Amino acid sequence: MSITARNDGLSLPWSAQSRLSINGNVNIRHGGLRIYPSKYAGPEAVTSAVLADYVAGMSDWDIACPDQAQGLTLEIIPNLAPLILIHYRATSTLTRQFGSRGFSQRDCRHVVTKFQTGVVVGRSRGPLGLICVCLRPEGAAGLLGEHMQGFLDAEIGLDAVFGATAVSLLEEKLAEATTSAERLSWVERFLAANLRPQALESVACRAAGLLGQNPHLRVGHLAARLDVSERHLSRSFQAMFGMAPKQFARIARIESVWSARGRGASWADIAYATGFADQSHMVNDFTEIVGVPPAQLVSFPAAEIG
């Protein structure tokens, strides 16, 4: 999941791609990232054995101090994973930016979304309590159903997906919980109770899994591996994900660019490793999807932090 944090004096260990900006210097590291002095030892992140086919990971952003919470800005770039965002303290404002244009997102306390263009910026209105569930692209249908195009660049209320009664009960459990482990356990139970396992057997889900592993697969080769026609594959994929397999693969390559830069690779090496004809093509593709060139989002300060 490509989530970034900008903050002032917080300590943020990461297990996914991340970026952090302090005084204009942006640092990106795949793995642990520390900024001192340490004021915040989160987010608490876990994986779930029960939901392994559906959920890539869950994290709890627990910042009870309003000043610290409001000093943190979360950013999300386009990625393959649908996200479930559940607030248990103050809500956050979300704004999607594409280049110089900004679009305010609908204010909703608990949402499901799938960002595929631009950069989404989130800021807390007060003390932050946020559970973020990152779904597996190939497994998301098992929780969200087989028609996920409605989630693209939109915020869909959690109650519209799982029902107001179930969401209300989850809110009560999260309000009573006192630790991240308790909160994440209640979210895991909630999701496990709402599984639709049969959806994972669809052609579109199997195709998404293969494209996530190898975004360079051509549609013809992908259809052959799944023993279906290209037309059937494309129609099934469009119906489920709201985009063609080729666009899905483009976003997968953008994720690869972000991840490789997090490991410290040069832009030229990244372009070669991710299958672009050259660095210029990589920059153009990134800019078309994210709205800004990759160097504008990611740079390294002179001193190493870690």
Ranges of each domain in the chain:
3-197, 200-297
Dihedrals phi, psi of 150, to nearest 5 degrees: -70, -15
Nearest CA to 288 out of 245, 237, 254 is that of 254
C-alpha dist (Å) from residue 199 to 143, 146, 182, 205, 231: 9, 6, 29, 8, 20
Report whether 4 contacts 76 (CB < 8 A): yes
> In b/e form, how buried is each residue of 63-100, taking b as 16+ CB within 10 angstroms?
beeeebbbbbbbbbbbbbbbbbbbbbbbbbebebbeee
Indicate the angle between helix axes 230-241 and 203-213, nearest 10 degrees. 90
User: Tens digits of per-residue pLDDT, 249-298?
Assistant: 999 888 888 778 777 788 899 888 888 889 999 999 999 998 988 888 75
Superfamily of domain 3-197: Jelly Rolls (2.60.120.10)
What pLDDT does residue 66 have? 87
What pLDDT does residue 199 have? 64
Provide the residue-wise pLDDT of the chain in tens; the chain has 306 residues. 455 454 443 333 333 333 433 333 333 332 233 322 234 445 677 788 889 999 998 989 888 888 888 877 777 888 888 999 999 999 888 888 887 777 666 667 899 988 888 888 888 889 989 999 999 988 998 999 888 888 888 889 999 999 999 999 999 999 999 999 999 999 999 999 999 877 667 899 899 999 988 888 899 999 999 999 999 999 999 988 989 999 999 998 888 887 787 777 888 998 888 888 899 999 999 999 989 888 887 543 332 222
What pLDDT does residue 40 have? 45
200-297 under CATH 3.90.180.10, yes or no? no
pTM, full prediction: 0.80
As given in the structure block, the two tokens for residue 106 are 């609908």
Helix (H) or strand (E) run with residue 38 in it: none
The DSSP secondary-structure symbol of 150 reads G
What pLDDT does residue 107 have? 66
As given in the structure block, the two tokens for residue 111 are 């949402």
What pLDDT does residue 106 have? 63
What pLDDT does residue 226 have? 94
